[in-house]
């Protein structure tokens, strides 16, 4: 007789989780920081690690959120479930937002969500497990980890996974990769890039769009940091590249542009024109619609009021001031680190700075050194992939006085 009425069969877990080589990066940083704080009570720790917004929401957005709450207090304006794909007014506003950059989309190609992280994690679920995945290296860890969980990789091999194509981004290519030399199916690109702060040019994106169309591959383009681009020649959306609607899904966010990291709101564009080896036009869009209507009940109605205000002309002007504030932080960090003799990349059209460690130290050793000597939390580059080894990332999100204190502390206390 087995362990159950039906023999030895019992519930089983998704063993792909066992392949994940370590905990998720940011909880690991939080764990090390907590241990430092416990050992050093009273020491002020300055946090430039996770890209977490710190400045209050703008008046236009706050008023709209209040308005959203008040609507729920009155039987005449109360609403329960909304459309899983998002409030049609917000979807239309997103279409108009793209139209200003010459990109024409249809409302049913826009899917409002509770943020770019869930969308970039969930999008892989509409693609077959036999797809070959390519990522920029280094990359936002969600792309790789969710494909490991989804069963598209073998086991971890040091800091890489069998089956993933790592497109190296380093000083030699300006932190943007060449198109893969072999056939890949799903390509994750992030621009402005987390973590390197590099921004792809139109020509660079065109190379990938041409590759994807020629090979019926799909690009998953994460543009969560688009609002930090000030150089008008740089694309804010992949759809600024002709042909991209046939091969690219774009994931976007209100987190960093509007300060909604805790509020939660984002959107994805899944064009009907996308074709894959086995999906004619319309099918990929229909699959994402099916996924969202099955597994998601729509973003909060209150929060979507905030989103409408954020994309209004007045809301965009107000938000720009906060973006400028964070970018001034980036300038202060860049100048301070350069003065200390560091080699610094990024931070001009992106809120992240990508910095080389000193004396060939590893990313985690340098993370511990900065924490112990300067009491500043950064993010170790190797946490983003093998090509991140020997670098650390500094986030420009933070109160100005903390950023200034952190840079001063690195200048005075870090022994390099």
From the CB of 17, what's the least distance to ligand MLT, in Å?
19
Q: Does 380 bind ligand MLT (CB under 6 A)?
A: no
How many distinct helices (H) and strands (E) make up the chain?
A: 13, 15
Residue 50 or 275 having the CB closest to ligand MLT? 50
Q: Helix crossing, 363-374 with 400-413: angle to 10°?
A: 100
Report how many residues bind ligand MLT under the rule CB under 6 A: 5
From the CB of 261, what's the least distance to ligand MLT, in Å?
7
Q: Does 349 bind ligand MLT (CB under 6 A)?
A: no
Rounded distance, CA 133 to CA 153, Å? 9
Residue 211 or 226 having the CB closest to ligand MLT? 226
CA 49, chain centre distance (Å):
14
- Interacting span for ligand MLT (CB under 6 A) from 44-52, 57-65, 98-106, 164-172: 44-52
From the CB of 330, what's the least distance to ligand MLT, in Å?
14
Rounded distance, CA 328 to CA 222, Å? 24
Residue 140 or 211 having the CB closest to ligand MLT? 140
**CB-CB contact of 340 with 410 (8 Å):** yes
Residue 192 or 315 having the CB closest to ligand MLT? 192
From the CB of 15, what's the least distance to ligand MLT, in Å?
26
DSSP string for 110-127: EEEES-HHHHHHHGGGGS
- Interacting span for ligand MLT (CB under 6 A) from 45-53, 162-170, 209-217, 312-320: 45-53
- Interacting span for ligand MLT (CB under 6 A) from 47-55, 159-167, 275-283, 299-307: 47-55
Q: In what helix (H) or strand (E) does residue 252 lie, and over which residues does it extend?
A: strand 248-253
From the CB of 190, what's the least distance to ligand MLT, in Å?
10
Produce one character per residue of 35-46: b if its CB has 16 or more CB atoms within 10 Å, e if not. Answer: ebeeeeeeeebb
Residue 85 or 194 having the CB closest to ligand MLT? 194
CA 65, chain centre distance (Å):
24
Residue 51 or 298 having the CB closest to ligand MLT? 51
- Interacting span for ligand MLT (CB under 6 A) from 46-54, 154-162, 196-204, 298-306: 46-54
Rounded distance, CA 336 to CA 53, Å? 21
What long-range pairs does 356-360 form, CB within 8 A, spacing at least 24?
356/390, 356/391, 357/381, 357/390, 357/391, 357/392, 358/416, 359/416, 360/390
From the CB of 279, what's the least distance to ligand MLT, in Å?
29
Residue 60 or 333 having the CB closest to ligand MLT? 333
Site for ligand MLT in 78-117 (CB under 6 A): 117
Site for ligand MLT in 142-201 (CB under 6 A): 194
SS3 label, residue 159: coil
From the CB of 194, what's the least distance to ligand MLT, in Å?
5
Q: Does 50 bind ligand MLT (CB under 6 A)?
A: yes
Residue 47 or 375 having the CB closest to ligand MLT? 47
> According to CB under 6 A, which one of 29, 51, 199, 319 is a site residue for ligand MLT?
51
Rounded distance, CA 71 to CA 48, Å? 38
Among residues 246, 243, 195, 242, which one has the least CA distance to residue 222?
Answer: 195
Task: Calculate the alpha carbon distances from 309 to 94, 265, 312 in Å.
Answer: 12, 13, 5
From the CB of 381, what's the least distance to ligand MLT, in Å?
12
From the CB of 53, what's the least distance to ligand MLT, in Å?
9
- Beta strands, E only, 27-174: 46-47, 110-113, 133-137, 156-157, 160-161, 165-168
From the CB of 385, what's the least distance to ligand MLT, in Å?
13
Rounded distance, CA 379 to CA 183, Å? 32
Among residues 363, 410, 351, 415, which one has the least CA distance to residue 388?
Answer: 363
Residues engaged in binding ligand MLT (CB under 6 A)? 50-52, 117, 194
């Amino acid at each position: 007789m087995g362990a159950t009425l039906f023999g030895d069969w019992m519930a089983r877990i998704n063993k792909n989780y066992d392949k994940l080589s370590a905990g998720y990066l940011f909880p690991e940083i939080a764990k090390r920081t907590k241990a430092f704080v416990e050992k050093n009570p009273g020491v002020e720790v300055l946090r430039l690690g996770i890209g977490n917004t710190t400045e209050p929401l703008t008046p236009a957005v706050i008023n709209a959120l209040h308005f959203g709450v008040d609507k729920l207090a009155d039987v005449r304006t109360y609403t329960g479930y909304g459309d899983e794909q998002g409030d049609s007014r917000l979807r239309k506003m997103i279409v108009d937002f793209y139209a200003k950059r010459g990109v024409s989309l249809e409302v049913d190609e826009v899917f409002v969500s509770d943020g770019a992280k869930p969308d970039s994690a969930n999008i892989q679920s509409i693609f077959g497990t036999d797809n070959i995945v390519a990522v920029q290296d280094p990359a936002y860890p969600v792309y790789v980890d969710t494909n490991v969980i989804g069963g598209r990789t073998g086991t971890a091999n040091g800091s890489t996974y069998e089956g993933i194509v790592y497109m190296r981004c380093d000083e030699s290519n300006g932190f943007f990769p060449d198109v893969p030399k072999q056939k890949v199916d799903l390509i994750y690109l992030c621009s402005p890039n987390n973590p390197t702060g590099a921004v792809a040019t139109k020509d660079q994106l065109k190379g990938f769009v041409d590759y994807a169309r020629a090979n019926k591959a799909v690009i998953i383009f994460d543009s969560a940091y688009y609002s930090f681009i000030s150089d008008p020649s740089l694309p804010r959306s992949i759809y600024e590249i002709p042909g991209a609607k046939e091969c690219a899904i774009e994931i976007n966010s209100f987190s960093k542009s509007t300060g909604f990291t805790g509020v939660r709101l984002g959107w994805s564009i899944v064009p009907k024109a996308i074709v894959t080896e086995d999906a004619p036009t319309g099918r990929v869009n229909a699959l994402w619609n099916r996924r969202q209507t099955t597994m998601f009940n729509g973003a909060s109605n209150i929060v979507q009021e905030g989103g409408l205000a954020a994309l209004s002309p007045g809301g965009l002007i107000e938000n720009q001031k906060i973006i400028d504030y964070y970018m001034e932080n980036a300038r202060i960090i860049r100048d301070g680190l350069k003065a200390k003799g560091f080699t610094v990349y990024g931070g001009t059209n992106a809120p992240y700075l990508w910095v080389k460690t000193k004396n060939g130290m590893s990313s985690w050793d340098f993370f511990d050194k900065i924490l112990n000597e300067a009491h500043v939390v950064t993010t170790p580059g190797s946490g983003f992939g093998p090509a991140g080894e020997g670098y650390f990332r500094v986030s420009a999100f933070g109160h100005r006085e903390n950023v200034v204190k952190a840079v001063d502390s690195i200048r005075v206390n870090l022994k390099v």
